[in-house]
Amino acid sequence: MIQSVDRAIAILMELQGARRLRLTELALRLSLPNSTVHGIVATLVARGLVEQDASGRYALGPGVLRLSNVYLDSNELRLRSLSWTESLAERSGCAVRVGVPLGDDIVVIHHVFRPDGSHQMREIGIDIPAHGTALGKAVLAFDPLRAEALLDRDDLPKLTGRTVVDGDALAAQLTAVREAGLATAADESILGESEVAAPIFDAHDVAIGAVGVVTTTSQVPTDRGLLDEVRRTAVTISREMGAASWPPRALLERGVSG
Amino acid sequence: MIQSVDRAIAILMELQGARRLRLTELALRLSLPNSTVHGIVATLVARGLVEQDASGRYALGPGVLRLSNVYLDSNELRLRSLSWTESLAERSGCAVRVGVPLGDDIVVIHHVFRPDGSHQMREIGIDIPAHGTALGKAVLAFDPLRAEALLDRDDLPKLTGRTVVDGDALAAQLTAVREAGLATAADESILGESEVAAPIFDAHDVAIGAVGVVTTTSQVPTDRGLLDEVRRTAVTISREMGAASWPPRALLERGVSG
DNA sequence: AACACATTTCGGCATCATCGAACGGTGACC
DNA sequence: GGTCACCGTTCGATGATGCCGAAATGTGTT
């Protein structure tokens, strides 16, 4: 791992959290001397990944935008999800999201609007702490290493009053997810929003992401039909990605401790 | 400028152009040893900016997606453009785009669909060689250094048969743009698409971007109304960005040679 | 107008990235 | 099915390069 490149990325991540930062603030957060940070941001600015506003503060630049478009267009999971998620949204009447893990978060890489035609925000690109969403729990349940790393933390952010931050409670939920092949979340990331999600596997039986629906908590459907629809969509996409079985037997047996 | 960070960004840019690349191909394009490139991409992979598919090829990762969302939300020019571009689209019946310069390209940072309700592609994040679009010519006409750098090149890409790649012809066009405060392009980036655009200035009289409309070439309006609408939108946004005059007198007098 | 803060520049030192070569793994072709 | 060739990855020595402290420049404030 190259130190300066790693630091450059750390700077980008800081700028992602706090939108505008002074050089001094950046240096403080990274515990690095002022001049060291300056050298790196100067490089990022020269390439357009970062820009400096009139008051000297730094923010992300247009270069990052250019990159993201290409990611969306070339991502295989997203490509193979397009038609199936569309159809899931139509049949369920819910918004559909596909997410992939990144660190301890889930990044939404595809989003089909609820088909009622109402004004909705485009959620592609947003990131949510994995333990606070059904998408995240679906992935964690079938990715022991990732789950373990997350459960070792004792500072899991509490997004709402219902977010599960207790390690034992979360581990129990993941076991249930493994048994059902489905993960749920109610008011755990956004109050009033509930989700159902199922994991997606690739040819190596790795949980590379998840697909799920979002509904308002008050309208959460009680029939099993929706659950089956979500799971079937995940199975279909997994098959397109080359997965042989769903869920992979090996992952079921080992669980988090493996 | 830090060498390794610069190389890391160069790698991201290569992956942006060619969506999937083998390590050897990357090393070849950058004229660097295999192992040097490997160290850098390993760092990028660890942070999620790059991912490696099953066959070992590298592609951009979900990390870049997360960054782009924040850029869009925090960009001041985009924020101040939102309402005015919406209104321009309604009144003109055309799609509206806002772009900012990045290297020799224009990156589209905002896009209002043509209000006829037809299916249209979201163009946010796409990049177009500046000399091939009205947005780019609007910026270049009022950014002498950038224009000079571009005119010095003799390998300007020809996007369509109508793209102006000759330096003298382009310089003449930029002079005309300076006089009119408007730039046009007909079939120069995409056949069948014509544009009108005007530059946007900030408080320091720097051309930080441009706003423009897109129409089908066959329906290009002949009335001056549209031209005035575009220009007025650019003036309004410039004023919001703190520009005192439009266009700045200083830039008009000096021209490209300054 | 003078101060205080923050950003930027500069140069010496030691670290850290770089590179060539060897290893291990995979797919292709015979 | 075996061998070959290519590709990605690891490793270790070398010296170029990024790192950091301090000084200097610029900016906004009192």
Q: What is the predicted pLDDT for the residue at B258?
A: 37
Give A97 to chain B, closest Cα distance, Å: 15
Q: Determine the average pLDDT of the residues in B99-104.
A: 96
Q: What is the pTM of this model?
A: 0.93
Q: Please state which CATH class domain B3-66 belongs to.
A: mainly alpha
Q: What is the predicted pLDDT for the residue at A251?
A: 65
Signed CA dihedral, A124, A129, A130, A133: sign only: negative
Check whether B103 has a pLDDT greater than 80: yes
Q: Determine the average pLDDT of the residues in A216-240.
A: 91
Task: Judge: A125–B73 Cβ closer than 8 Å, yes or no.
Answer: no
By Cβ distance, the residue of B2, B39, B67 closest to A68 is B67
Check whether A201 has a pLDDT greater than 90: yes
Fold entry, domain A3-63: Arc Repressor Mutant, subunit A (1.10.10)
Adjacent-strand bridge partners of B183: B197
A99 Cβ neighbours under 8 A, 6+ residues apart = A106, A107, A108, A109, A128, A133, A135, A136, A139, A209, A210, A212
* pLDDT band (50, 70, 90) for residue A254: low
Q: What is the predicted pLDDT for the residue at B220?
A: 79
Fold entry, domain B75-254: Beta-Lactamase (3.30.450)
Q: What is the predicted pLDDT for the residue at A252?
A: 62
Check whether B252 has a pLDDT greater than 80: no
Q: Determine the average pLDDT of the residues in B72-92.
A: 95
Closest protein residue to D8 (Cα–C1'):
B23
- H helix or E strand, kind and range, residue B59: strand B58-60
Q: What is the predicted pLDDT for the residue at B224?
A: 83
User: Tens digits of per-residue pLDDT, A162-188?
Assistant: 999 999 999 999 999 999 999 999 999
Task: Judge: A204–B47 Cβ closer than 8 Å, yes or no.
Answer: no
- Using a CB-CB distance cutoff of 8 angstroms, which residues of chain A are in contact with residue B41? none
Signed CA dihedral, B142, B143, B145, B146: sign only: negative
Where do the structural domains in chain A lie, given as residue ranges?
3-63, 75-254
- Cβ–Cβ contacts within 10 Å for residue A256, how many? 20
Check whether A219 has a pLDDT greater than 90: no
Find how far residue A204's CA is from the centre of its chain. Answer: 20
Q: Determine the average pLDDT of the residues in B126-146.
A: 96
Check whether A139 has a pLDDT greater than 70: yes
* Shortest CA distance from A206: residue in chain B: B54
* Shortest CA distance from A70: residue in chain B: B16
Report whether B26 contacts B35 (CB < 8 A): no
Report whether B23 contacts B37 (CB < 8 A): yes
Tokens at A257, concatenated: 């401790």
Q: Determine the average pLDDT of the residues in A219-236.
A: 90
* Shortest CA distance from A66: residue in chain B: B125
Q: What is the predicted pLDDT for the residue at B253?
A: 61
User: Tens digits of per-residue pLDDT, A66-117?
Assistant: 999 999 999 999 999 999 999 999 999 999 999 999 999 999 999 999 999 8
Question: Mean pLDDT score of chain A, rounded to an integer?
Answer: 93
Task: Judge: B62–A203 Cβ closer than 8 Å, yes or no.
Answer: no
Give A225 to chain B, closest Cα distance, Å: 31
Q: What is the predicted pLDDT for the residue at B204?
A: 87
CA triple B175-B180-B182, angle to 5 deg: 95
* Shortest CA distance from A47: residue in chain B: B9
Residue from B16, B30, B67, B206 whose CB has the most chain A CBs within 10 Å, to mutate: B67
Q: What percent of chain A has pLDDT over 70?
A: 97
Check whether B255 has a pLDDT greater than 80: no
Check whether B76 has a pLDDT greater than 80: yes
Q: What is the predicted pLDDT for the residue at A203?
A: 87
- Using a CB-CB distance cutoff of 8 angstroms, which residues of chain B are in contact with residue A60? 67, 70-71, 74
* pLDDT band (50, 70, 90) for residue A220: confident
By Cβ distance, the residue of A40, A126, A203 closest to B2 is A40
Task: Judge: B53–A76 Cβ closer than 8 Å, yes or no.
Answer: yes
- Using a CB-CB distance cutoff of 8 angstroms, which residues of chain A are in contact with residue B16? 66-67, 70
Question: Mean pLDDT score of chain B, rounded to an integer?
Answer: 93
Going by DSSP bridges, is the β-strand pair A50-52/A95-102 parallel, antiparallel, or unpaired? unpaired
Q: What is the predicted pLDDT for the residue at B257?
A: 43
Write out residues whose CB is closer than 7 A to strand D. A 3-4, 7, 32-36, 39-40, 55; B 2-4, 22-25, 34-35, 38-39, 41-42, 52, 56-57
Q: Determine the average pLDDT of the residues in A53-58.
A: 90
CA distances from A248 to A85, A139, A204 (A): 22, 13, 9
